[in-house]
Amino acid sequence: MQNIYLTSFDAVQLFTNIPVKDTIDHITNTIPISDIPIDKQTIKTLLEIACTQVPFRFDNEHYVQVEGLSMGSSLAPLMAEFSMDMIEKHISAPRLYIRYVDDCLAIFENEENAKTFLASLNSHHPSIQFTMEKPINGKINFLDMTVCVENGSLSTTWHVKQTNTYLYTHAQAHSPNTYKDNAIRALYRRSQLLTSDTALKEQAKSKVKHIFMCNGYSSRHIDKIFEKVDSQMQTTNTETVEVDKQKIFWKLPFIKSIHTEIKKAFTRLTKCSKKSNSTSHSQHSKHNTCAKTKTLSHRLSPPLSSTNIRVSIATHATSERHAASSKEG
By CB neighbour count within 10 A (0-12 exposed, 13-18 middle, 19+ buried), where does 162 fall?
A: exposed
Beta strands in 94-232 (DSSP E): 96-100, 103-108, 130-133, 139-142, 145-150, 153-158
Using a cut of 0.75, tell me whether the model's pTM lies above it: no
Q: Which residues pair with 9 in a beta bridge?
A: 104, 132
Q: For 109, what's the count of Cα atoms within 13 Å in the CB-facing half-sphere?
A: 2
Provide the residue-wise pLDDT of the chain in tens; the chain has 329 residues: 467 899 999 999 999 999 999 999 999 999 898 888 889 999 999 999 999 888 888 899 999 887 899 888 889 999 999 999 999 999 988 989 999 999 999 999 999 999 999 999 999 999 999 999 999 988 999 999 999 988 778 899 999 998 999 999 999 998 889 999 999 999 999 999 999 998 899 999 999 999 999 999 999 999 999 999 999 988 765 556 566 666 667 677 888 778 778 878 877 777 776 645 444 445 555 455 455 444 444 444 444 444 444 434 444 444 444 444 444 44
Cα–chain center distance at 260: 27
Name 188's Cβ contacts closer than 8 Å, sequence gap at least 6: 205, 208, 225, 226, 229
Contact between 166 and 214 under an 8 Å Cβ cutoff? The reply is yes
Measured CA to CA, the distance from residue 329 to residue 327 in angstroms comes to 5
Contact between 100 and 143 under an 8 Å Cβ cutoff? The reply is yes
